[in-house]
């Protein structure tokens, strides 16, 4: 077996690095000495400051948001009003400060005690590249309600407006939002921090043939009439505010779950996601009732910049996971899991991202294990952990702590995914192993109930775990072992290791081929799943020669594969190996897909040589009109960095 020794030695090396404790623990006092003493009372309070928002949630909080918006495909704008119901916490507060980005604000009014609306003075500050523009509204009377009339920019970072040519049907335009992490402020002025939770309602007008959906009570039988009303009665953080519009039809999966997609996609999507009902049942059995009423999935065009987004009641999903064999439906398990970890119990700042993504990745893996077996769940884990090994470097140590220190994360979109997803899940797998599955399941279920509909910090998680795990079952995990995961870089030596016999077979097949060119027997590879193909490619040397690449292509048709997980690994290998035969397919792939995770590895590899950089730039120029602003930013960043780097 190839990867286990490697991983063990990595774990050991990482552990040594971790022991150096070259940084003070996270921004909370007391954690360093926490091995014996209880955390000081002050650290148990919920956080009140989010460095990625101008809002002042210690002074005033939005409890409800009412939107009245007109959706205009021709102008690429949303315009109308946002009305906030406010809870004034500080009796001396005289201002309401909101987050905005690229918004045009025309009028702001406050409601007097007699119910009449009167204009309020306001100032919109210059834009910070990451945070946007601070909007300061003078509210000396601390009104119960404030109303803002505004229009979005066609370039809003949280919206993408697609021409009909970029849709499957090619006839109607399409638009969608992506608010996480701090892009809601580009389509609604608001307190854009997950610390603030609010209910919302919306009235949206659109062209008659567009179906409009939101992260709210979508009606599968809604008539398309250009006039839509939504209610979200549960309190959500701003990053879960979502909207989409286009030629969308609905197909049920169960009586509470279904798929929204363009007409030509909806059947395939419903088949691919047919196990959604079972996933909901499994998660409910483990962690308590699903509390969001319906669970529908919206399949977006391929320019969607993420794999999935857990918008409540309406997961947004990339079409790139529809492969026909359900091999990538862990994505649905993941987004569904957020209905507990993330949407129900929410991180209070981006520094605590692991509380959302790590806990969710753990739950996702449990769902996969329950539906598709431990072998598949383990394979998915091993792939992630191997990626972590590549992503963790000496340079990004500060981002390797689960609890990232204040000031470390400049742009909240720049979290290290191996930390928040993989190390986060690994931490819970460690706790599960030490405390036993039964005890740990009960703990996690209690955690979701205890913090339901709240936004919490890592410290609150740690305090809760101390009381309900560490102190409850003494002698299983020390406070120092627990804290090492949260406040130190790398992966602690306590990390449980995994073996995967199915990956051992893949390793043996790869080794044999590398030694003498013998391809594995077809009756073996015929049964390989996406995970095995991914592992086969990932274990290849840095480069192969042209004959080797051509032989693999002849046998397995990797070049041009419709499977994004395979393409994501094969194309960088092709670029490194100088296998220019793949260039045309690479360009086509980069133009068709906008999902960052799938295309960034290839761009990053291309920019390393002058010829590659040229292909990257030419392709980007063609692809850009179809990319989401988030993807455009990432690709531009990689190209700019390569050009700025000193030539060798």
- Helix, strand, or coil (residue 90): coil
Closest to ligand BES by CB, 365 vs 400, is: 365
Residue 224 to residue 208: CA distance in whole angstroms: 6
Closest to Zn ion by CB, 54 vs 306, is: 306
From the list Zn ion, ligand BES, none, partner contacted by residue 599 (C-beta under 5 to 8 A by kind) = none
The tokens describing 218, both together, are: 């979508």
The tokens describing 370, both together, are: 């329950």
- Among 295, 421, 571, 579, the active-site one is 421
Residue 617 to residue 610: CA distance in whole angstroms: 10
> How would you class 38 by CB atoms within 10 Å of its CB: exposed for 0-12, middle for 13-18, buried for 19 or more?
middle
Contacts with Zn ion, 299-338, as mask; x by CB under 5 A: ----------------------------------------
Residue 600 to residue 631: CA distance in whole angstroms: 9
Q: Min. distance of Cβ 596 from ligand BES in angstroms?
A: 8
Closest to Zn ion by CB, 206 vs 339, is: 339
Closest to ligand BES by CB, 262 vs 310, is: 310
From the list ligand BES, Zn ion, none, partner contacted by residue 132 (C-beta under 5 to 8 A by kind) = none
Closest to ligand BES by CB, 53 vs 583, is: 53
The tokens describing 349, both together, are: 């700042």
Contacts with Zn ion, 117-136, as mask; x by CB under 5 A: --------------------
What are the phi and psi torsion angles at 516 (to 5°)? -140, 15
* Sheet bearing 95-100, strands edge to edge: 95-100, 133-138, 122-124
- Among 109, 272, 335, 369, the active-site one is 335
Would you mind telling me the total number of residues written for the chain in this entry?
648
Quick one: which of 371, 376, 474, 377 has its CA closest to 429?
Answer: 377
Q: Min. distance of Cβ 335 from ligand BES in angstroms?
A: 6
Contact 294, 256 (CB under 8 A): yes
Specify whether 335 is catalytic. Answer: yes
The tokens describing 480, both together, are: 């120092």
Contacts with Zn ion, 609-628, as mask; x by CB under 5 A: --------------------
- Helix, strand, or coil (residue 268): helix
Cα-based distances in Å from 163 to 75, 446, 591: 12, 47, 15
Contact 194, 346 (CB under 8 A): yes
Residue 345 to residue 197: CA distance in whole angstroms: 11
From the list Zn ion, ligand BES, none, partner contacted by residue 306 (C-beta under 5 to 8 A by kind) = ligand BES
Quick one: which of 59, 24, 29, 26 has its CA closest to 41?
Answer: 29
From the list Zn ion, ligand BES, none, partner contacted by residue 98 (C-beta under 5 to 8 A by kind) = none
Q: Min. distance of Cβ 343 from Zn ion in angstroms?
A: 10
Q: Min. distance of Cβ 305 from ligand BES in angstroms?
A: 8
From the list Zn ion, ligand BES, none, partner contacted by residue 72 (C-beta under 5 to 8 A by kind) = none
Q: Min. distance of Cβ 400 from ligand BES in angstroms?
A: 17
Closest to ligand BES by CB, 43 vs 181, is: 181
Give the chain's largest Cα–Cα span: 86
Residues 6+ apart with CB under 8 A from 422: 358, 361, 384, 385, 387, 388
Residue 334 to residue 360: CA distance in whole angstroms: 6
Q: Considering CB under 5 A, how many residues would be counted as binding Zn ion?
A: 2
What Rg value do the Cα atoms of the chain yield, rounded?
Answer: 25
Closest to ligand BES by CB, 146 vs 309, is: 309
Q: Min. distance of Cβ 330 from Zn ion in angstroms?
A: 11
Q: Min. distance of Cβ 390 from ligand BES in angstroms?
A: 16
Q: What is the DSSP letter of 127?
A: P
Residues in contact with ligand BES by the rule CB under 6 A: 180-181, 306-310, 330-331, 334-335, 338, 357, 413, 421, 597
Q: Min. distance of Cβ 645 from ligand BES in angstroms?
A: 27
From the list ligand BES, Zn ion, none, partner contacted by residue 423 (C-beta under 5 to 8 A by kind) = none
**Which residues are 630's β-sheet partners?**
none
Residues 6+ apart with CB under 8 A from 388: 418, 422, 423, 491
Residues 352-381 that bind Zn ion (CB under 5 A): 357, 360
Closest to ligand BES by CB, 59 vs 313, is: 313
From the list Zn ion, ligand BES, none, partner contacted by residue 294 (C-beta under 5 to 8 A by kind) = none
From the list ligand BES, Zn ion, none, partner contacted by residue 331 (C-beta under 5 to 8 A by kind) = ligand BES
Closest to ligand BES by CB, 56 vs 327, is: 327
Q: Min. distance of Cβ 334 from Zn ion in angstroms?
A: 5
From the list ligand BES, Zn ion, none, partner contacted by residue 176 (C-beta under 5 to 8 A by kind) = none
Residue 63 to residue 614: CA distance in whole angstroms: 51
> How would you class 199 by CB atoms within 10 Å of its CB: exposed for 0-12, middle for 13-18, buried for 19 or more?
middle
Q: Which residues bind Zn ion (CB under 5 A)?
A: 357, 360
Catalogue the active-site residues. 335, 421
């Amino acid at each position: 077996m190839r990867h286990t020794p490697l991983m063990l030695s990595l774990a050991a090396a990482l552990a040594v690095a971790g022991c150096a404790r070259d940084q003070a623990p996270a921004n909370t006092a007391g954690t360093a000495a926490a091995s014996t003493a209880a955390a000081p009372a002050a650290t148990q309070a919920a956080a009140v400051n989010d460095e990625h928002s101008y809002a002042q949630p210690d002074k005033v909080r939005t409890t409800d948001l009412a939107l009245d918006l007109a959706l205009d495909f021709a102008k690429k704008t949303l315009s109308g009003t946002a009305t906030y119901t406010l809870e004034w916490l500080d009796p001396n507060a005289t201002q309401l400060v909101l987050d905005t980005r690229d918004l045009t604000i025309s009028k702001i009014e406050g409601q007097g005690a007699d119910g009449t609306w009167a204009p309020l003075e306001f100032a919109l500050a210059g834009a910070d590249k990451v945070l946007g523009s601070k909007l300061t509204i003078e509210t000396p009377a601390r009104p119960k309600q404030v109303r803002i009339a505004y229009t979005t920019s066609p370039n809003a970072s949280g919206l993408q407006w697609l021409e009909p040519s970029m849709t499957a049907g090619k006839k109607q335009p399409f638009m969608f939002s992506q608010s996480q992490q701090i892009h809601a402020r580009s389509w609604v002025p608001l307190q854009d921090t997950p610390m603030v939770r609010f209910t919302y309602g919306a009235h949206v007008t659109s062209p008659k043939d567009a179906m409009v959906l939101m992260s709210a009570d979508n009606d599968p039988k809604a008539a398309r009439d250009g006039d839509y009303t939504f209610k979200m009665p549960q309190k959500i953080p701003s990053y879960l505010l979502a909207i989409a519009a286009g030629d969308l039809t609905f197909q049920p999966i169960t009586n509470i779950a279904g798929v929204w997609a363009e007409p030509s996609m909806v059947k395939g999507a419903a088949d691919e996601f047919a196990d959604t009902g079972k996933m909901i049942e499994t998660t409910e059995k483990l962690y308590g009732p699903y509390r969001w009423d319906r669970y529908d999935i919206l399949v977006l065009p391929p320019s969607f910049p993420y794999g999935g987004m857990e918008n409540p009641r309406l997961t947004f999903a990339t079409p790139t996971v529809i492969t026909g064999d359900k091999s990538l439906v862990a994505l649905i398990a993941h987004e569904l899991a957020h209905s507990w970890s993330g949407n129900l119990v929410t991180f209070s700042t981006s520094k605590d991202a692991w509380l959302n993504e790590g806990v969710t990745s753990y739950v996702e893996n449990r769902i996969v294990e329950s539906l598709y077996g431990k072998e598949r769940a383990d394979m998915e884990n091993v792939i992630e952990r191997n990626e972590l090994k590549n992503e963790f470097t000496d340079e990004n140590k500060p981002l390797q702590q689960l609890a990232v220190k204040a000031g470390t994360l400049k742009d909240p979109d720049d979290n290290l995914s191996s930390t928040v997803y993989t190390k986060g899940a690994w931490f819970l797998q460690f706790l599960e192993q030490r405390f036993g599955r039964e005890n740990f399941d009960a703990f996690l279920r209690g955690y979701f109930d205890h913090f339901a509909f709240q936004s919490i910090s890592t410290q609150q998680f740690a305090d809760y775990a101390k009381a309900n795990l560490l102190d409850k079952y003494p002698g299983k995990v020390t406070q120092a072992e627990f804290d090492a995961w949260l406040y130190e870089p790398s992966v602690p030596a306590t990390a449980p290791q995994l073996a995967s016999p199915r990956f051992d077979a893949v390793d043996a097949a790869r080794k044999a081929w590398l030694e003498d060119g013998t391809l594995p027997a077809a009756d073996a590879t015929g049964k390989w799943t996406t995970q095995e193909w991914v592992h086969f490619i990932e274990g290849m040397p840095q480069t192969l020669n042209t004959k080797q690449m051509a032989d693999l292509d002849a046998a397995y048709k990797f070049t041009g594969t419709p499977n994004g997980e395979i393409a994501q690994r094969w194309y960088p290998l092709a670029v490194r190996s100088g296998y220019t035969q793949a260039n045309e397919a690479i360009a086509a792939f980069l133009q068709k897909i906008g999902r960052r995770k799938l295309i960034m590895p290839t761009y990053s590899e291309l920019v390393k040589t002058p010829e590659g950089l040229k292909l990257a730039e030419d392709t980007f120029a063609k692809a850009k009109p179809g990319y989401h602003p988030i993807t455009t930013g990432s690709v531009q960043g990689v190209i700019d960095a390569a050009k700025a780097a000193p030539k060798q």
